Amino acid sequence: MTRPPTAAQRRVIDAADPVTGRLKGTEAQLAALVKRGLAFRHPRPPHDHFLTPAGHRIREAVEPAAAEPAARAQTAADGVFAARVGGEETAPDAGPARLREVCGAWQGLLELRRMTRRDGATDRPCDWERTHLVQAAALALEAAGHRPAGPEVRGYRVRATPQPEAVAVYEPDGTALRACAATLERAGWQVGEHTEPRTNSRYLLASPRRT
């Protein structure tokens, strides 16, 4: 691709589903994105269009200072899905609607793995997960039924680390921490258990598995 997307095409890219990369737009817009290698048409009905890895990179190529508040505003305004990382001051209701939302997001992520791999494998994290480590790990945990920490609730907390492609998972209960490790390993992450030197508390260091 030698030219950047047009303003209309960029709006379609920016509006893509944050997890699956599913696109909505006119046939002409979607066809133009396919021609540029930024999208592909799913071969099975209903033949939806999805971002390619190159399309995801375009979508993420925004000024960080402007992107973060914009993403927060969009999430608050129209309910864009966000996995529970633990420790939020306010959290969505943990009822059946949330469960359906989480399960749908996880299934969408597995489909994204399948569609973006030549072998169609879903046992390893995809490029989107590698650029959204905290949210990807949190989604795997929440989808498996682990309880995120709340203002008055003990549970997991997923946090970024200075290490490339690694997140830390904290859980005060040792049994629950080991269960989190098993879930992440099944989801295609490499996991090691470590001890925090200052507090002597145990935590997980998890990275997306490549092979």
**Cβ neighbours of residue 61 under 8 Å, at least 6 residues apart?**
none
pLDDT at 108: 87
* Higher per-residue confidence, 63 vs 6: 6
pLDDT given for residue 69 in this prediction: 36
> Could you give the dihedral angle defined by the CA atoms of residues 139, 187, 96 and 178, in that order, rounded to the nearest 10 degrees?
-90
Q: What is the pLDDT of residues 15-29, one digit of tens each?
A: 888 777 889 888 888
Write down the pLDDT at residue 168.
96
pTM for the whole structure: 0.63
Q: Are 74 and 80 in contact (CB under 8 A)?
A: yes
CA-to-CA separations, 126 to 24, 122, 188, 204, in angstroms, rounded: 22, 9, 10, 21
Q: Is the pLDDT of residue 147 over 60?
A: yes
* pLDDT at residue 67 greater than cutoff 50: no
CB atoms within 10 A of CB 110: 16
